[in-house]
Amino acid sequence: MRNESIKVGVIGVGHLGQHHTKHYASLQDAELVGVFDTDTDRAISIASQNSTKPFTELSSLLDVVEAVSIVTPTKFHVDVAAACIQAGKHVFIEKPITTTLEEADRLLLLAKEKGTMIQVGHIERLNPALLALRPFTINPKFIEIQRLAPYTTRGTDVPVVLDLMIHDIDILLSLVDSPVDTIRATGLSILTDSVDIAHARIRFGNGTVASIMSSRVAKDKVRKVKVFQRDLYATIDLLLGLTEIYKVVGDPDEDSQAIMTAPFEYDGSGRFIAYHKPPVISGDALRMELDNFIKSVQGKETPIVTGKAGREALEVAMEIQRIIIQDIH
Ligand code: NAD
């Protein structure tokens, strides 16, 4: 474990990379050394806003950092990350890790050879509303996730499965402790030539079933997770930051954290439903992710979303996408 700050840089300072830069500039354990972007004017502008240095060559930035965030468009992740890992740097790669599984495997292998760490930016894992579930024992039997977004040009270079649904695939894989067994999926193109709406039904080895729906053709944003299990129902609004849990209990006194309880009659059992609204501790999820990355490089923490987890989410996403394309043709 180390206490000295980690010299870090940001590669790709567009829409999201500017926020990586801003956070590194103020994280206690990070020393922001500079940024690199193929658009030099953009690099100069973001560097000056954050009192850091713009680099015109990737290799020059890599000479002076220990770790980097890679926030380029997804199709460039593999080549940029490979260059960074080859140079022995720890990498935080924005989601999705890469555009193909072969690319993800190449990076994982390279990182293993070089002894560097890969972390992936599946930011929803740190959504405060999802974190509020932590004190409860979650053993889901059925999960429903819905993510709807109005159309924007951003992200349309990839199908909705890789742009939006992959967030929920990662959430799902973190909630269910069992391998994926079968996948059914359907989807269609509405506004672009790629898939804009997708629905997947995923069955896990332990019998848990999930239904995930993602769309970039919507009037309003929706991001909801519903978890059903024996004697418990949880509903999580990732957008509003609201988590509500309904639990069946034998005696209202046995659940002191419940906000209220109401009698629940079934088969003469005379039990109660306890309603919980656990505190959702607001925090900037991106900042928390990057802080976790830096502390993982220092050896103080472990990465919340590893390269392996990023690869697993991609594998499920690619399979869903493959089934949808097969279904369309
Ligand atoms: P963007 O197009 O706004 O920015 C990308 C930047 O990378 C641009 O400034 C571009 O000039 C630069 N660039 C392109 N190729 C480069 C290269 N080879 N080397 C260095 N710089 C290069 O894109 P964005 O919306 O910021 O998305 C970037 C990544 O972040 C994508 O992988 C995307 O999927 C991901 N993303 C994740 C989330 C999330 O919720 N975690 C949200 C948005 C975007």
The CATH number of residue 273's host domain is 3.30.360.10
| Same domain? 100 vs 145 | no
The number of beta carbons lying within 10 Å of the beta carbon of residue 167 is 24
State residue 148's pLDDT score: 97
Does 157 have pLDDT greater than 80? no
Helix axes 166-175, 307-328, angle to 10 degrees: 120
Ligand 1 centroid distance, CA of 10 (Å): 11
Does 16 have pLDDT greater than 80? yes
Does 126 have pLDDT greater than 90? yes
Q: What is the DSSP string of 83-129?
A: HHHHTT-EEEEESSS-SSHHHHHHHHHHHHHHT--EEEE-GGGG-HH
In a domain, 1, yes or no: no
Torsion of CA 71, 76, 79, 85, to 10 degrees: 10
State residue 195's pLDDT score: 93
Ligand 1 centroid distance, CA of 72 (Å): 3
Residue range 270-283: average pLDDT? 93
- For ligand 1, say whether the CB of 15 is within 6 Å of any of its atoms: yes
Give 35-74 pLDDT, tens digit per residue.
999 999 999 999 999 999 999 999 999 999 999 999 999 9
Does 156 have pLDDT greater than 80? no
Model's pTM, two decimal places?
A: 0.94
- For ligand 1, say whether the CB of 55 is within 6 Å of any of its atoms: no
What's the number of domains the chain is made of? 2
- For ligand 1, say whether the CB of 94 is within 6 Å of any of its atoms: yes
| Same domain? 200 vs 264 | yes
| Same domain? 267 vs 163 | yes
| Same domain? 106 vs 159 | no
Cα–Cα distance between 113 and 309 in angstroms, integer? 18
State residue 170's pLDDT score: 98
| Same domain? 19 vs 66 | yes
Give 223-254 pLDDT, tens digit per residue.
999 999 999 999 999 999 999 999 999 988 88
Tell which wins on pLDDT, 218 or 255. 218
State residue 17's pLDDT score: 98
Give 84-109 pLDDT, tens digit per residue.
999 999 999 999 999 999 999 999 99
The residue segments making up the domain with residue 41 are: 6-123+285-302
Tell which wins on pLDDT, 43 or 255. 43
- Burial of 20-31, coded b for 16+ CB within 10 Å and e otherwise, reads bbbbbbebebbb
